[in-house]
Structure 1
């Protein structure tokens, strides 16, 4: 039974929503960031890049976090932001050239995270957890929701359909030719229906935002200990999430690029691979796998198809059947000597959504010796691994939608 709650969002007025909301801070190059800051006084980037006001953008640590809070207060004082009077849910639809996503922004429960109702599929880095916990403590808000997915539910879908037939509170397009629509759900009966609908959902799966959710839970635990009158109903016991039906989730793969062959020549490397894979030389054909446990490889100017010799591989659990794990246990670790696939500088990852030719071009450039491609992980694989209490290797999934910051803000 998942606990989701309505909340009084802080958000931009209708006429400024397109100007205020932004992509995640991390996707902007320095040039793009400076351009946005210079020409748009309303962008939320001014809040999370507070040093720009003083022509000093290298402010870090707790001082930066406190200045973020100050800029946030200024946006409220200047009435760029206002807070809804009634608690509600927010239906957000994102429409791209290839996909349409429509889900519900809500407050989700730290208790559910601790009780494994909200489940994760990736490990997190303690340093980043603590850094973001400190950020949350100093700023006092969530501006970018955690992406959670759940099995499709007819009752929840019917409420979404009811509202999306009406005029949206926000309706605008961003410069990447994406449409954004937001509906406010504050009718008490519909709010209750949404809450009840999610009580019928046994599990919510974190699709994107593992560090944000973990950090929110760390902060909630800390504040609970510091509060002698803690009840469990305080705002810090929840974090903002975007709840999306699993049928709408898009999962793409990450390609692997390796900088050296661990002392082997290309021919010696192929011979090593032959012990666990049946190998076909596809020469200049841009080969992409068509089945699970098949891999594409680009080496020394040619494409190869690698087919796992299943009789020689030990399938023990759902994780061992995952292509990313198979590549790690059969090639990356034993042959190429890459044990720490998160931090080893010999391996680089690139999501394969837009440029399949990268497998070839990055190796041909001389920067890498070999590249590997595979099929995307399915939502069924992800859930099976998570439900078994296991974690997937880093950079196994590139998941969409990627969510904007400051469409709605959750204060605690």
Structure 2
């Protein structure tokens, strides 16, 4: 059963919500983050990426950087940019992109559920990325970026969410990228109790996006337990900020690939080598997006091809059968020599939100060959996580992205 709790939230005053709401901290490099914060002093990225408040000669991980995040968070609360909700509540967060909506419940999930596997993972995390967020959470004494969780759709929760979203929202704005954001607050004891009970009937939830934020939040919680040996388990640090969405509302976009060179092969030799594992068909100059599992688009020398994996190479294994695995195991590694996509500098990954034109652009600029993918499905993600396995890196790209700053979870009572 999933423990999903209401919480005391720190959130923007209504007139600032559209300014405060920011894309996740890790979608930007330092230069891009500085550009965003310079253009919008109210963007929560100022707090999520506090190195933007310093000159470039100050290291991103300097102690002063994290202390600056704490000072800014306290300052925004003091000056009224952010407010503290006194009562514990759930929140409904609806995002609408290109006419398609997804509506989730903002709540706190249990670090014990994470440890016990009630919250299932499908990715490895990197220690250096965890270390940054651990210091940020610990120093600010707050979780500022929600973890994107998914669960198998449940009618009871769907009904409660539908009833709440018929009312006037707390926030209602459209961000610069055209995505609509609406938020409702649920503080009525009866409805709060119904939601909490409904999640207790759900056996597992799944991390869709935010593995590093989740791991960092859990490690801070465990650290606080060591520092407070008399803890009861109900303190805020025993939980982490999350938004939980039903699986039937989620959309995963492809995570496409580009590679710098042909691993010493001529174009002719390379295409001939592909025929050992794929049916190779020239489709022309029009960008090609595959529509069926086991097929891939390939852009090479101003031309698009369709690659279809030979049936003998298909697999029923939850991981080996993924399209990202088929491409890695039968092309990227054996033909192009990309043995470890986590560390190889010759490969890059392009989120599907950027479109196929971005693949063509990269091949004109600094790469040689590009691959368009069929997106991994939410069912495949669940199957991998249920089997206790891990997906290859860059397997899923979720859109729309949850905004940071709309919901902040303090680790001490407000």
TM-score calculated relative to the size of structure 2: 0.93
| Equivalent position of 1:257 in the other structure | 258
| Equivalent position of 1:396 in the other structure | 395
Describe how 1:235-274 pairs up with structure 2 within 5 A: 235-274=236-275
Q: CA deviation at 1:57?
A: 8.3
Q: CA deviation at 1:30?
A: 6.7
Distance 1:156 1:99 in 2: 19
Q: Unpaired runs of 5+ in structure 1?
A: none
Decide whether aligned partners of structure 1 residues 276 and 141 sit closer, same or farther in structure 2, where only a CA change above 3 A counts. Answer: same
Describe how 1:137-176 pairs up with structure 2 within 5 A: 137-176=138-177
Decide whether aligned partners of structure 1 residues 16 and 358 sit closer, same or farther in structure 2, where only a CA change above 3 A counts. Answer: closer
CA contact (8 A) 1:319 1:385 kept: yes
CA contact (8 A) 1:49 1:57 kept: no
Point out the more displaced range, 268-277 or 51-60.
51-60
Q: Deviations over 1:199-258 (max 9, x none)?
A: 111111111100000111112222212322122222111000001111111101111111
Decide whether aligned partners of structure 1 residues 366 and 23 sit closer, same or farther in structure 2, where only a CA change above 3 A counts. Answer: closer
Distance 1:91 1:57 in 2: 41
Q: CA deviation at 1:4?
A: 0.4
Distance 1:292 1:66 in 2: 48
Distance 1:152 1:399 in 2: 18
Describe how 1:85-234 pairs up with structure 2 within 5 A: 85-234=86-235
Distance 1:92 1:299 in 2: 42
Q: Give the match's secondary structure for 1:205.
A: strand
CA contact (8 A) 1:120 1:386 kept: yes
Q: Deviations over 1:305-362 (max 9, x none)?
A: 2111122x26251111101001111111111111110121110111223422333333
Q: CA deviation at 1:38?
A: 4.7
Decide whether aligned partners of structure 1 residues 15 and 389 sit closer, same or farther in structure 2, where only a CA change above 3 A counts. Answer: same
Describe how 1:334-345 pairs up with structure 2 within 5 A: 334-345=334-345
Q: Give the match's secondary structure for 2:356.
A: coil
For these two proteins, the number of residue pairs brought into alignment is 410
Decide whether aligned partners of structure 1 residues 148 and 57 sit closer, same or farther in structure 2, where only a CA change above 3 A counts. Answer: farther
Point out the more displaced range, 328-337 or 19-28.
19-28
Point out the more displaced range, 83-92 or 292-301.
292-301
Distance 1:52 1:213 in 2: 24
Decide whether aligned partners of structure 1 residues 357 and 175 sit closer, same or farther in structure 2, where only a CA change above 3 A counts. Answer: closer
Point out the more displaced range, 226-235 or 278-287.
278-287
Q: Unpaired runs of 5+ in structure 2?
A: none
| Equivalent position of 2:404 in the other structure | 405
Distance 1:332 1:392 in 2: 16
| Equivalent position of 1:367 in the other structure | 366
Distance 2:351 2:36 in 1: 26
Q: CA deviation at 1:283?
A: 3.1
Describe how 1:343-358 pairs up with structure 2 within 5 A: 343-358=343-358
Distance 1:323 1:288 in 2: 14
Distance 1:358 1:10 in 2: 38
CA contact (8 A) 2:33 2:49 kept: no
Distance 1:394 1:31 in 2: 25
**CA RMSD of the aligned region, Å?**
2.1
CA contact (8 A) 2:137 2:144 kept: no
Distance 1:351 1:98 in 2: 20
Distance 2:375 2:54 in 1: 45
Decide whether aligned partners of structure 1 residues 52 and 293 sit closer, same or farther in structure 2, where only a CA change above 3 A counts. Answer: closer
Point out the more displaced range, 334-343 or 37-46.
37-46
| Equivalent position of 2:296 in the other structure | 295
Distance 2:351 2:210 in 1: 17
Q: Give the match's secondary structure for 1:357.
A: helix
Q: CA deviation at 1:130?
A: 2.0
Distance 2:348 2:37 in 1: 31
